[in-house]
Amino acid sequence: MAKVIDGAALASSLRQEYAQRVSALTRRAGIRPGLAVILVGEDAASAVYVRNKVRACEAVGIRSVRLTRETSISTGELVALIESLNSDPEIHGILVQLPLPKHVDMTAVLEAISPEKDVDGFHLYNVGGLVVGKTVFSPCTPYGVCKLLESEHIPVEGQNVVVVGASNIVGKPMALMLMAKDATVAICHAKTRDLAQFTILADILVVAAGVPGLIVPQMVKTGAVVIDVGINRLSDGRIVGDVDFEGVSKKASYITPVPGGVGPMTVTMLLENTIASAERHTRQPAPVSEPA
């Protein structure tokens, strides 16, 4: 039977460490990390996500500023709001809750965030940085997966990794981050022919497709590490991942549950990125004053 990786427990112990990092930073440099969260419109799920992020910040001592705007806001107005936050020294992280209304140019909005405050890691600079190994912030969900693997001392170097799902926020950055750790990585997506032909080769299988029951035991190598990023609500209200947990647990060496696996790590990595940003801010040299 696979060992179940308890993401909720890891998230909780990391959050205790973060609370200590925040108070140390405040004592040492008089700085409290600050996160601005922008929520546009009335989407109920987005409002819940934002509320969870704000609560998680408060619990570790991060100051969070929730900025809600009407659905009718224009791209220009949102960009102006972000620019004012970019120059606010008390804000170390800026997050725009997605999705944005259709009339808003999401790319222009995300690119307006200073890469030094882009704690979600969605700015092109940070995405490009993942490719060349110079990113300022890693996107939270794949970063959380890396922390889960580290916490169990699961080696990545030289391993065959298969990532199922190729989205910009999970699958692609996940593949890049594991490649940076010297894994051999394959990425599969909805048009992959014969998915099982790839997944069966994986020493580490990361699944982020949003399809319940996509991965069944026959598709998994005995002893593989299986990380289930998927979050799906079934018609009976149950929340499940993309992996047949019962069946695959009997074959894998490690597996993450849903809920309680990757999910709690995503918001935790947002806290990590915000604190790291504030810590970095204190290390920057003071601006040199112009000669009179």
> Contact positions toward ligand NAP, by CB under 6 A?
141, 164-167, 169-171, 188-192, 195, 208-211, 214, 229-232, 262-263, 266
Q: Judge whether 284 counts as a catalytic residue.
A: no
- For the bound state, the minimum distance from the C-beta of residue 141 to ligand NAP, rounded and expressed in Å, comes to 4
Minimum distance from residue 133 beta carbon to ligand NAP (Å): 23
Q: With respect to ligand NAP, which residue has the nearer C-beta, 245 or 279? A: 245
47 SS3 class: helix
For residue 239, the number of C-alpha atoms closer than 13 Å in the C-beta half-sphere is 10
Question: What gap in Å lies between CA 92 and CA 136, rounded to an integer?
Answer: 13
Cα 287 to the chain's mean position, in Å? 32
Q: Which of 6, 118, 120, 244 is catalytic?
A: 120
> Least separation, in Å, of the C-beta of 282 and ligand NAP?
29
Closer residue to ligand NAP (CB): 100 or 229: 229
18 vs 122, which CB is nearer to ligand NAP? Answer: 122
Is 242 in contact with 235 (CB distance < 8 Å)?
no
Strands 239-240 and 232-233: antiparallel
Active site residue 120: yes
Q: Would you say how long the chain is, in residues?
A: 292
6 as an active site residue: the answer is no
Q: What is the DSSP string of 49-88?
A: HHHHHHHHHHHHT-EEEEEEE-TT--HHHHHHHHHHHHT-
Task: Give the closest residue to 101 by CA, choosing from 48, 39, 54.
Answer: 39
> What's the closest the beta carbon of residue 35 comes to ligand NAP, in angstroms?
17
Closest by Cα among 254, 52, 31 to 151: 254
Cβ atoms of 28 and 285 within 8 Å: the answer is: no
Nearer to ligand NAP, 93 or 261 (CB): 261
Residue number, 45 or 132, with CB nearest to ligand NAP: 45
- In the complex, minimum distance from the CB of residue 242 to ligand NAP, in angstroms, rounded to a whole number: 7
> Residue 287 in 3-state DSSP?
coil
Catalytic residues: 53, 97, 120
